[in-house]
């Protein structure tokens, strides 16, 4: 069985709307217009999709280049199911506020866990 050259599977994704998850956790949605042998991607009409709980917002990025080494996952978006029915679209300001609240809650949770671990060490 002959193995296809690296990156040829991306040919099938050209001109399709994709969601690309990056190493830093960001999610970029856009139309794949080009790629190279390193899986560097050129996305047209790209947006950064920020999701917090059941809310999301899309921040416009325009024409966007993604370095291949930063891609964790990519997949085609089903236009009929985007966004999913259980998701609520909100403004950028609302999603940023929700992100801050989520980070603050996580910070409090870590602090409480550290305190509990400290107290349990004395038992």
Calculate what percentage of the chain has a pLDDT beyond 90: 69
| Per-residue confidence (pLDDT) for residue 59, from 0 to 100 | 94
- Rounded CA separation 98/87 (Å): 14
Percent composition of the chain: helix, strand, coil (DSSP 3-state, to 5): 35, 40, 30
pLDDT score, position 10: 87
Q: Residue 123: its pLDDT value, please? A: 65
Q: How far apart are the first and last CA of the chain?
A: 62
Residues of the chain with pLDDT under 50: none
**pLDDT confidence of residue 60:** 96
Query: What sign does the dihedral 73-75-69-102 (CA atoms) show?
Result: negative
For the stretch 6-18, pLDDT in tens is: 556 789 899 999 9
Cα→Cα distances 23→34, 110, 118, Å: 20, 23, 33
Q: What integer pLDDT is reported at residue 2 of this predicted model? A: 64
The Cα 29–Cα 47 span in angstroms is 5
Report domain extents, the chain: 8-89
CATH number of 8-89: 2.30.30.100
pLDDT tens-digit readout, 30-39? 999 999 999 9
pTM tops 0.75:
yes
């Amino acid at each position: 069985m002959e193995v296809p050259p690296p990156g040829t599977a991306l040919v099938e994704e050209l001109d399709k709307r994709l969601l690309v998850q990056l190493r830093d956790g960001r999610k970029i949605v856009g139309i794949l217009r080009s790629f190279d042998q390193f899986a560097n991607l050129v996305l047209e009409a790209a947006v950064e999709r920020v999701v917090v709980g059941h809310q999301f917002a899309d921040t416009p990025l325009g024409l966007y280049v993604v370095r291949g080494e930063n891609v964790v996952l990519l997949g085609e978006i089903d236009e009929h199911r985007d966004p999913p029915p259980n998701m609520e679209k909100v403004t950028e300001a609302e999603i940023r506020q929700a992100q801050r609240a989520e980070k603050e809650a996580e910070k409090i949770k870590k602090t409480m866990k550290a305190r509990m671990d400290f107290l349990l060490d004395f038992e």
